[in-house]
Structure 1
């Protein structure tokens, strides 16, 4: 129960951090300080571009048309929203299936609901990790490219917050998935020990069992060898009978008649 509570708190904190990045404006930032009077900060996020001057006054402008945006921005928006939605449903399922809430039915049903919550949290964490990693890689590649002549940006605070939140989601959901999976599917995790194998000697054709095993091995002899075994057995039987008869003839002595003294 305490392990479930710790994993749930970790996942919840990661989901809150990922939600906060959607409203954060500093995904990427660029400073222009060539002239003191014209010095300002340029920053942007998923929804708008902003500029701030030295006096602290900022002006933001939303992207004009969704159909005119690049595919990269559409995919990042979709994955960010999907991450938030998965995190919400993961929290709902976790509250239903955890042992401390006692909302669900039997222990097996609660364990399976908790396992579903862990998978949902993991999907949320991976979706967020893809967004922030992809955005950060694009920003880095443009910054180090000498042929990129447009304004170059650096990594903003939202990316680092998103990376931290995604790591919390993935780690918490992985631990929760392991412990809830052991209770949800006990037959797969708690397999019976394998019995030791048997072995057979080629000379006697007998089956010997290793210690601790009760299973016997059936030996199937080909038809070509059965006639040989039968003939060999008959010869051994005949030889034993002849030996017994010879021994019995040697052991029996002739009985002589008694000698009459008068004769």
Structure 2
């Protein structure tokens, strides 16, 4: 009963983490830049520039958003080669991670003790082991994607810019949600591994 409960918690936590990570792919405000707010008029003029993995947007005080979608999947806005490479790497890591997570969820669902599919006990343990490894690999892949994005953005923030016309972006909420989701995925895989370890030690 205890083993089954741990597996259910692992499934719920990992599913919650994958939900967070999947939502961040389509969320706005991955990075934000704010300019304005100063002037001699009583009307405060300001503008917000924000980007996602797929488009650039501009919003002013009139609350009108102007966005430019990237033409194809692997196109990013003009910039340095390192910036373009990092954005493309983040996209690739997230897609690979979610692909692994899809199969991991199916394997773990079949291998859990509370389900009546998957064959005998030994077969279900093997299936659950495959799902655990895929969950851990997918969680680490997504965590690497968000850490890479944060690292590149942090380098741009703390590096002194010689050109004052360049925008200085800051980290947006989707990155934090993604880090939390990746941690939940890894935690779920650890809970699965705990139940597998107890089975192996019991057999010995």
TM normalised by structure 1 equals: 0.67
Query: Is 1:21–1:158's contact at 8 Å kept on the other side of the alignment?
Result: yes
User: Among residues 56, 59, 63, which one is paired with 1:52 in the alignment?
Assistant: 59
Query: Is 1:42–1:52's contact at 8 Å kept on the other side of the alignment?
Result: yes
Query: Is 2:94–2:142's contact at 8 Å kept on the other side of the alignment?
Result: yes
Query: Is 1:142–1:148's contact at 8 Å kept on the other side of the alignment?
Result: no
Change (3 A) 1:136 1:116: same
Q: Structure 2: which 5+ runs fail to align?
A: 78-83
The reply to whether residue 7 of structure 1 matches residue 23 of structure 2 is no
5 Å-filtered alignment, 1:121-160, equals 121-147=135-161, 149=163, 150-160=166-176
Cα offset, 1:88, TM superposition: 1.1
Tell me the SS of whatever aligns to 1:42.
strand
Counterpart residue number, 1:72: 86
Counterpart residue number, 2:107: 93
Query: Is 1:14–1:168's contact at 8 Å kept on the other side of the alignment?
Result: yes
Counterpart residue number, 1:105: 119
Cα offset, 1:13, TM superposition: 0.3
When the two chains are superposed, the root-mean-square deviation of aligned CA atoms in Å is 2.0
Counterpart residue number, 2:80: none
- Relative contact order (alpha carbons < 8 A, sep ≥ 6): 1 or 2 greater? 2
Query: Is 2:103–2:131's contact at 8 Å kept on the other side of the alignment?
Result: yes
Change (3 A) 1:94 1:148: farther
Change (3 A) 1:24 1:110: same
Count of aligned positions: 188
Query: Is 1:115–1:180's contact at 8 Å kept on the other side of the alignment?
Result: yes
Query: Is 1:111–1:181's contact at 8 Å kept on the other side of the alignment?
Result: no
Counterpart residue number, 1:168: 184
CA distance in 2, matches of 1:41, 1:12: 34
Counterpart residue number, 1:216: none
Query: Is 1:10–1:169's contact at 8 Å kept on the other side of the alignment?
Result: yes
Q: Deviations over 1:123-170 (max 9, x none)?
A: 111111111111111111111111353200111000000000000001
CA distance in 1, matches of 2:67, 2:29: 12
5 Å-filtered alignment, 1:184-223, equals 186=200, 189=201
